[in-house]
Chain A
Amino acid sequence: MADIIFISGGVRSGKSSFAEKLATSHAERETNSLYYIACGEPVDEEMKERIAQHRYDRSKASSWTTVECPVNVGSAAKRIGQGGIVLLDCLTTLLSNELFKQIESYEALIDRIKCDLSIVAEKCDVLIIVSNEVSFEPFDTPLVKTYGKLLGSLHQWVVEQAREAYLVEASIPILMKGEVIE
């Protein structure tokens, strides 16, 4: 079972670049392969641009194998080599993609996502999960509230499983759980 690292933060807080740096340093230490599970789907121009930017940033740094996986993230495990360092970006996108499909019940969906994440964690050495902060303002619509509730429950579960958890504020990672071994 992999060591799970949870990284959360606001939009453009630098959480992805911190996650990539962390993954790279783990890979260098253990000479593992780097895998990037991309949950974003290039549905429009803005999304295409964001994905291109993320791809460019990664290509500068190290050799990543990108696994596109907008839903059913457990299926990505097949495309990951044993003992790799895996970065999943990001849980919020995964949850919205799953919600837009025909779903079972909300509880069943959350259980399935947890199960999918566990399948990936079984395969690799380190699993870094990136997500967004849920909310610090009232929910406007019942749909947004449901989304917040589901995401919040997933976050609580991931943090419980995690060896380390970070909140990234303006590119500065704050360690919320665990100890960093230098």
Chain B
Amino acid sequence: MHVVTGGAFNGKSKWVRDYYGVPLEWYSAYDGTSWDEKSFKKDVVVLEGLEEWIKTLVSDQKSLKETRRAVRSYIEAWSAWESGRDERTIIVIGTDIMKGIVPLEKEKRMWRDVVGWAYQDLVSLAERVDVIWYGLNQQLK
């Protein structure tokens, strides 16, 4: 697993494309494709827009715990898929949305909470983590 994060519009996706330089199987939450590991075909898969994808799982009908558990089970499934073959790598791209003022609305708060936890869970599983700042990478792990 390779986690790529940083602020919005910092060139994260472009960096991933340039860094890997191979055809990547690309799923983007910005155009609403499914992130089910059962549909992955190639060995190197990119999941772009983790924060946006998590937004679809958050609702005030569900508890924070429940939502976090749901996200975790996805992360575990990706990790299990990855360990199915040595060549497999999942690259998760997620925008850092957690450094602003905490909003009053419950759902918006929950969104940030779940996204932050997801990054922590992913990073603990990842072999490599990079933060992108206007096209430059800083490897954190």
- Chain A: residues with CB nearer than 8 A to chain B? 6, 8, 133-139, 148-149, 151-153, 155-156, 158-160, 165, 167, 176-177
Contacts and interface: CB of A to CB of B under 8 A. Distances in A.
12 contacts: A6-B134, A135-B9, A136-B99, A138-B100, A148-B8, A149-B8, A152-B134, A156-B134, A159-B135, A159-B136, A176-B136, A177-B136
A156 B98 contact: no
Q: 10 closest A-B pairs (Cβ-Cβ)?
A: A152-B9, A137-B100, A136-B99, A159-B134, A155-B134, A156-B135, A156-B11, A156-B134, A138-B97, A149-B9
Interface of B: 7-11, 14, 51, 96-101, 108, 111, 133-136, 138
Contacts of B108: 138
Contacts, number: 60
B136 A134 contact: no
A91 B75 CA distance: 39
A152 B14 CA distance: 13
A136 to B, nearest CB: 3
A173 to B, nearest CB: 14
